[in-house]
Amino acid sequence: MKMAAGDQAIIGRRDALAAGFRDIVGREWVLDKEAELRPYECDGLTAYNALPLLVVLPETTQEVSLVLQFCQREGIKIVPRGSGTSLSGGALPLEDGIVLGTARMNRILHVDARNRTARVQPGVQNVRVTEAVKHLGLCYMPDPSSQAIATIGGNVSENSGGVHCLKYGVTSNHITGMEAVLLNGDIIHLGGDFLGGADREFDLTGAVIGSEGLLAIITEVTVRLVPQPATARVLSLGFRSVEDASLCVGAIIAHGVIPAGLEFMDRRIVDAVSSMLGEKHSPEVEALLLCELDGTRTEVDKLVEEVEAIAREIGVAELRISKTEEERAQIWLGRKSAFGAIGKISKDYYCTDGTIPRGKLPEILKRMEGLSKKHGLDYANCFHAGDGNLHPIIMFDAAKPGDLERAEAFGEDILKACVDLGGVLSGEHGVGVEKRDLMGYQFSNIDLAQQQRFKCAFDPDELLNPGKVFPTPCRCAEFGRMHVHNGKLRFPDVPRF
Amino acid sequence: MTTIADNPRTLQRFCPQGVEDVTQAIAEAHAAGRKLEIVGGGTKRSLGDPVTADALLDMSGVAGIDFYEPEELVIKVRAGTPIAEIRQALAEKKQHLAFEPPDYAAFFGNPHAIDTIGGIVACNLAGPRRIQAGAPRDAVLGVEAVNGRGEFFKGGGRTVKNVTGYDMPKLLTGSFGILAVLTSVTLKVLPIQPQEITLLASGLADGKAIDLLTQVLGMPFDVAAAAHQGGVRAGPSLTALRLEGFQGDVAARRAELESLIHRVSDVRAIADEESRTFWRSLRDLSAFAPDPGTCVWRVMLPATQAARVAHAVGGEAIYDWGGAEVFIRTAVDKIEAQARMLRAMADEAGGNACLFRASPEVRKRVSAFQPKPEALHDLGMRIRRMFDPKGILNPGKLGVASNGAL
């Protein structure tokens, strides 16, 4: 993966540009010294890094609007960034572009308990929303694993998922409206502050969600709040084989049960977690499923019985069912510690994020086994089985020459296999730079051209997060004249990044 | 029964039977600058602003179920597939389209017209269960479509979790055919709950009723519908809450909910077929049979503002989605003044008002949709040009004349 070379003419104007931004946001909110820029050099995809030209930290929508107008006038690229927890390189800086950080836009502006919405600024951490409305018996359901740090703005940009997506949907099912700023400084309001607010004709709310910072800068988000479920219980189901665990996933859904969460952990993860938490599992267990059921007490108790019966029929080897909130938290602790635990058994690891149709689980797991041999690297699996969202964890040693490249090639093969099996390249981390060059594997030239034209309507100068998501520049100026014939662009030799 | 279909003159009609036919028809129209009105079963030709077109693109031949995998909770159907056919296929596996697509054929005066999935998705229309299960925009996982240049493209996929490229499914859902013609949609489906029961409270004033619905929706009852039939009406008002689930669970929630409603009103229950009939009628707006002397507004706004806004307009009102969606039937004679007042109030409340049913002449005068601020309108125009540079798909459907603008 290569990023375009920085524009030296722009880099040479750093001081003059910093002065221009300081006029808008104030002296101390433009960072230009190397020590200040270093923390921004990468996001959660640490294999790639670059120092940004400047970091600009606006506080208000008006300031964002002025910053964007200034960037458009001067031809400066913009990389939006929340907390930098993206795992796909979406917030990877550009040497000739600014990082526009939302850290100062971190207020919960309004909680409307009766209409069950909250209006928040993009820099608010995901978990703070639920904390702010808990006393009302409400919560914000999307819960990415990084929710303690990840911001709502970032969640919206990546259409983040989490454990509860199977039953409750992803971020885009929980956003009713937003305020955003276009590159020309126009402030637009999409959707509304009520259930169904985004259901209007020509709704752009849904299209901006998951657009990875390529369309507009989000300055306010209205989230939908839902009543906290009355109760929740979790079953920990240990199976003798990965196939049995996969079978159980399909059987639960086919039975008409929609769990609040359905998570899969293989033996490697189970062992890693055991060594960290001292949690013992039967040596027979090759795969562990965690199945959470929520709702009213009567409903949950009945569903627990049903899932238990399904698991027993398949031949579950180890069964634990939470009876109290403490037990539930204890069972979940293993899953939540999984990635940290891997850090204890492998020097480095690379985690990717494809999605497959649920029924293809045994097949993709078999293919991973083969790919592991092919690339000579070990791996572990810990993923959202209920919605087919995989997070294969590839273990490598960055100090060994060629190891990172092999890990990336292994990850790439897994993602291609996901597409081959009817799935997609990214379930919740986004395409960013990580999967950018694979987009042509999932989409035809026309599919991609149509998406790039869509971007041109928002950002004709291609200054918003360029080099992300699409393997080639949009070349908006030419779209009016470009013609795609039989799926082939007239200029197949367009420059690659 | 008065039919109010627009474009009564007989237009040239293209009837593609598959994707290739669609791409060819649109590519030729693009080359010739021929404007197309997109129809499936024709139930919603009168929804939106009147379309000015040279020909009809009739998608009813592009029909059929491509695949249905019950254990994956997913179905892929071609755009012209009748909703009834999809419902039946899903029901055989005890599943359904959870967003409860309404059937507005009779409401728009075409009782024999057939609702298609393409039309429902293109207009993003949901029924009472929207409060619990979302709208079409929340169920559409993937789309295949042909843009205004005659190019076939796809977006999304078949999995619930997918952030690979822009969310084209959401962009096209609710775009009223002005960006591209849907040829197929992949939808998330859900199990049908074995039991349903509806609790009814009678005679509550609109404000009180919405307060009650709001209170219930903020509690973990997991209600599957919350509506109120009020406004200016001949009989007493009716407030309805639906519970769905299995027997023991529904009984437990019902007992608790009944005692809560009892604080403000008497309450009675209807179940099974009686409950289903009640919600079907509310969903399809059966109470608002076509009548040339009236028009129907659809106002979407925060529920807590709904009663105040509906009262200012007057007329019979059906509040759905806990009050966030209100249909108001009013006399058509003072429509301009009414539109000005209602749109200002809706705007102030942070919502919008759509003239949902009226004659083409009235909709031309008043425009069906709430006007958008300039920056948003301009952005919409730019997006349209990126999909349909010559503006040949459903020109005028979202307002602005037929010059290739929206």
- pLDDT tens-digit series, residues B189-209: 999 999 999 999 999 999 999
B191·A256 Cβ contact <8 A: yes
Distance in angstroms (rounded) separating the CA atoms of residues B283 and B300: 15
Using CB atoms, pick whichever of B249, B302, B369 lies closest to residue A302: B249
Q: Are residues A281 and A393 in the same domain?
A: no
Q: What pLDDT score does B185 carry?
A: 98
Name the pLDDT band for B404 (thresholds 50, 70, 90).
very low
Q: What pLDDT score does A163 carry?
A: 87
pLDDT over threshold 90, residue A489? no
Lowest mean pLDDT among A343-347, A391-395, B170-174, B332-336: A343-347
Using CB atoms, pick whichever of A159, A298, A448 lies closest to residue B248: A298
Q: What pLDDT score does A487 carry?
A: 41
Averaged over A451-461, what is the pLDDT? 97
Averaged over A205-234, what is the pLDDT? 97
Averaged over B214-229, what is the pLDDT? 97
Q: Are residues A281 and A365 in the same domain?
A: no
Among chain A residues, the shortest Cα distance to B214 is held by A114
Beta-carbon neighbour count of residue B69 at 10 Å?
16
Domain that holds residue A63: 1-228
Using a CB-CB cut-off of 8 Å, the residues of chain B touching A195 are: 130-131, 303, 321-322, 324
Q: What pLDDT score does B112 carry?
A: 93
Averaged over B22-26, what is the pLDDT? 98
Q: What pLDDT score does B10 carry?
A: 63
pLDDT over threshold 80, residue A478? no
Using a CB-CB cut-off of 8 Å, the residues of chain B touching A194 are: 300-303, 324, 350-351
pLDDT over threshold 70, residue B123? yes
Kind and range of the H or E run holding B226: strand B225-231
β-sheet bridge partners, residue A319: A237
B218·A195 Cβ contact <8 A: no
Among chain A residues, the shortest Cα distance to B305 is held by A115
Residue A261 sits in a domain of what CATH number? 3.30.70.2190
Q: Min CA distance, B372 vs chain A (Å)?
A: 10
Name the pLDDT band for A484 (thresholds 50, 70, 90).
very low
| Local structure of residue B185 (DSSP, 8 states) | E
* Domain finish residue from A323, A340, A357: A340
Q: Are residues A72 and A97 in the same domain?
A: yes
Q: Min CA distance, A412 vs chain B (Å)?
A: 14
Q: Are residues A155 and A212 in the same domain?
A: yes
A149 φ/ψ angles, rounded to the nearest 5 degrees: -115, -40
Q: Min CA distance, A230 vs chain B (Å)?
A: 6
Among residues B137, B141, B136, which one has the least CA distance to residue B156? B141
Using a CB-CB cut-off of 8 Å, the residues of chain A touching B158 are: 357, 422-423
Is residue A427 in a domain?
yes
pLDDT over threshold 80, residue B6? no
**R_g of chain A computed on alpha carbons:** 23
Distances (CA, A) of A482 to A65, A474, B276: 31, 11, 53
Is residue A304 in a domain?
yes
Averaged over A405-423, what is the pLDDT? 97
Residue A81 sits in a domain of what CATH number? 3.30.465.10
Name the pLDDT band for A38 (thresholds 50, 70, 90).
very high
Averaged over A209-220, what is the pLDDT? 98
Averaged over B291-297, what is the pLDDT? 93
Give the rounded percent of residues in chain B with a pLDDT score beyond 70: 96
Q: Min CA distance, A279 vs chain B (Å)?
A: 31
Using CB atoms, pick whichever of B161, B176, B379 lies closest to residue A355: B161
Task: Please state, rounded to an integer, the average pLDDT across all residues of chain B.
Answer: 94
> Domain segments of chain B: what residues?
1-192+371-406, 193-284, 288-369
pLDDT over threshold 90, residue B292? no
Averaged over A423-429, what is the pLDDT? 96
Name the pLDDT band for A115 (thresholds 50, 70, 90).
very high
Q: How many CB pairs under 8 A join A and B?
A: 273
Is residue A224 in a domain?
yes
Q: Which is more confidently placed, A463 or B7?
A: A463
B128 neighbors B279 (Cβ within 8 angstroms): yes
Q: Are residues A321 and A373 in the same domain?
A: no
Using a CB-CB cut-off of 8 Å, the residues of chain A touching B159 are: 355-357, 387-389, 423-424, 427
Q: What is the architecture, at CATH level 2, of domain B288-369?
A: 2-Layer Sandwich (3.30)
pLDDT over threshold 60, residue B17? yes
Query: In the numeric block, which tokens belong to residue A11?
Result: 């880099």
Q: What pLDDT score does A393 carry?
A: 94
Name the pLDDT band for B241 (thresholds 50, 70, 90).
very high
Using CB atoms, pick whichever of A202, A212, A469 lies closest to residue B380: A202
Is residue A66 in a domain?
yes
Averaged over A65-88, what is the pLDDT? 97
Q: Are residues A215 and A238 in the same domain?
A: no
- Domains: count for chain A: 3
CATH topology of B193-284 equal to that of B288-369? yes
> What are the strands of the beta sheet with A217-224, ordered from one edge?
A108-112, A117-120, A217-224, A175-181, A187-191
Is residue A448 in a domain?
no
Q: What pLDDT score does A394 carry?
A: 96
Q: Are residues A235 and A269 in the same domain?
A: yes
Q: What pLDDT score does A480 carry?
A: 54
B219·A227 Cβ contact <8 A: yes
Using CB atoms, pick whichever of B124, B248, B321 lies closest to residue A195: B321
Q: Are residues A245 and A361 in the same domain?
A: no
Q: Are residues A385 and A253 in the same domain?
A: no
A114·B135 Cβ contact <8 A: no
Is residue A306 in a domain?
yes
SS3 B245: strand
Q: What pLDDT score does A338 carry?
A: 85
Q: Are residues A180 and A103 in the same domain?
A: yes
Q: What pLDDT score does A262 carry?
A: 96
Q: Are residues A144 and A14 in the same domain?
A: yes
B159·A355 Cβ contact <8 A: yes
What is this structure's pTM?
0.95
Does domain B193-284 bear CATH number 3.40.50.11900? no
Q: What pLDDT score does B9 carry?
A: 61
| B1-192+371-406 CATH fold | 3.30.465
Among residues A467, A71, A204, which one has the least CA distance to residue B382? A204
Q: What pLDDT score does A276 carry?
A: 87
Task: Please state, rounded to an integer, the average pLDDT across all residues of chain A.
Answer: 93
Name the pLDDT band for A490 (thresholds 50, 70, 90).
very low
Residue A254 burial by CB count (10 A; 0-12/13-18/19+): exposed, middle or buried?
middle
B196 φ/ψ angles, rounded to the nearest 5 degrees: -135, 150
How far, rounded to the nearest angstrom, does the alpha carbon of residue A416 sit from its chain's CA centroid? 19
Residue B82 burial by CB count (10 A; 0-12/13-18/19+): exposed, middle or buried?
middle
B256 φ/ψ angles, rounded to the nearest 5 degrees: -65, -40
Averaged over A386-391, what is the pLDDT? 92
In the chain, the amino acid numbered B116 is: T
Is residue A456 in a domain?
no
Q: Which is more confidently placed, B127 or A489?
A: B127
Name the pLDDT band for B402 (thresholds 50, 70, 90).
very low
Q: What pLDDT score does A1 carry?
A: 73
B351·A480 Cβ contact <8 A: no
Span A245-304, pLDDT tens digits:
999 999 999 899 999 999 999 999 999 998 888 888 999 999 999 999 999 999 999 999
Give the rounded percent of residues in chain A with a pLDDT score beyond 90: 85
Among chain B residues, the shortest Cα distance to A451 is held by B166
pLDDT over threshold 60, residue A495? no
Q: What pLDDT score does A4 carry?
A: 85
Averaged over B72-84, what is the pLDDT? 97
A428·B161 Cβ contact <8 A: yes
Using CB atoms, pick whichever of A170, A200, A453 lies closest to residue B161: A170
Q: What pLDDT score does B3 carry?
A: 37
B222·A431 Cβ contact <8 A: no
Q: Give every CB contact of residue B330 below 8 A, 6+ residues apart in sequence.
A: B294, B295, B296, B297, B313, B314, B315, B338
Q: Are residues A326 and A387 in the same domain?
A: no
Torsion of CA A141, A147, A150, A155, to 10 degrees: -20
